[in-house]
Amino acid sequence: MSICSVPRPIEDRVAIVTGGASGIGAATVQELSELGAKVACVDLVQPPDTPAAGAYECDVTDREAVEATIAQVSSSLGPPDIMVMCAGATGPAPLAEFPDDLWRKIHSVNVDGTFYFVRGVLKGMTERRYGRIVLISSGAGVRPSKGTAGYASSKAAVIGLAKLTALEAAEYGVTCNAIAPGLVATPMSMGFYGGDMDELRKVATTTLVANAMKAVLEPVDIASVIGFLCHPAARYITGQTFHINGGSLMP
């Protein structure tokens, strides 16, 4: 049967999406909702309208808050079948001058928060012998740019965690994959590179992250791949890193 012939292939699956209020996270909430999932949108602040089945405020760096949020989602919507980690943080500085507080902030969001959520949902998924976990890394985790020590190292760690999770969960029917986006038009990218689409278009054609298609990707370009990885047809895809970047990085 064709993938396209199943309009709502994850009907009633419970999904948690962190960073779901904007950017790739918001697009993922929309994508998974359209595929039939009951989506919990998790973020520090919530948008005024969202297709999510529930909105939950949570600081992903707070272990107790993460555990409480997973418990709330399980109580309200059901135990999570899908976990997508889109919450992220960045900040530029030369390595020799990289501030301790910025390093801790980036790693606490990108690495600790990912670890807390994956650990928090994994036991239940393995017991039910079903789960889809997707972690958002970055092309910077494979090919860093100068001044991104905190971000690049944290995103490399996310790829490692995805592989380890895939390895330990495989026998239980749980998959885990990483997405490594290139340049995407998100609030975080705009803040990092200067704040508007014109600047992002220059970045897409003249810098280390320039891509062969000369494109600034949209959040939906990432969310559509996340949706596929949560689809039943992707049940044997695990431990992989998907580079979605218009041809800027071809590992």
Kindly give the confidence (pLDDT) of every residue in the chain, 251 residues in length, as a single tens digit, with 9 standing for 90 and above: 344 555 789 999 999 999 999 999 999 999 999 999 999 999 998 877 888 889 999 999 999 999 999 999 999 999 999 999 999 999 989 999 999 999 999 999 999 999 999 999 999 999 999 999 999 999 999 999 889 999 999 999 999 999 999 999 999 999 999 999 988 877 776 666 666 667 667 666 766 677 888 888 899 999 999 999 999 999 999 999 999 999 988 88
Can you state the angle between helices 113-128 and 149-169, rounded to 10 degrees?
10
- Decide if 56 is catalytic: no
Nearest to 138 by CA among 155, 157, 153, 113: 155
pLDDT at 2: 43
Homologous superfamily of the 3-182+217-243 domain (CATH): NAD(P)-binding Rossmann-like Domain (3.40.50.720)
State how far the Cα of 69 lies from the Cα of 97, in Å rounded to an integer: 36
H-run or E-run covering 169 = helix 149-169
Tokens encoding 138: 């970055």
State how far the Cα of 131 lies from the Cα of 218, in Å rounded to an integer: 27
Question: Under 8 Å CB-to-CB from 192, ≥6 apart: which residues?
Answer: 90, 92
Residue 88 phi, psi dihedral angles, 5° rounding: -155, 165
Question: Under 8 Å CB-to-CB from 57, ≥6 apart: which residues?
Answer: 42, 43, 44, 45, 46
CATH 3.40.50.720 placement within the chain: 3-182+217-243
* Options 56, 151, 172, 193, the catalytic residue: 151
Going edge to edge, which strands form the sheet with 54-57? 54-57, 38-43, 14-18, 82-85, 131-136, 174-181, 241-244
State how far the Cα of 45 lies from the Cα of 205, in Å rounded to an integer: 33
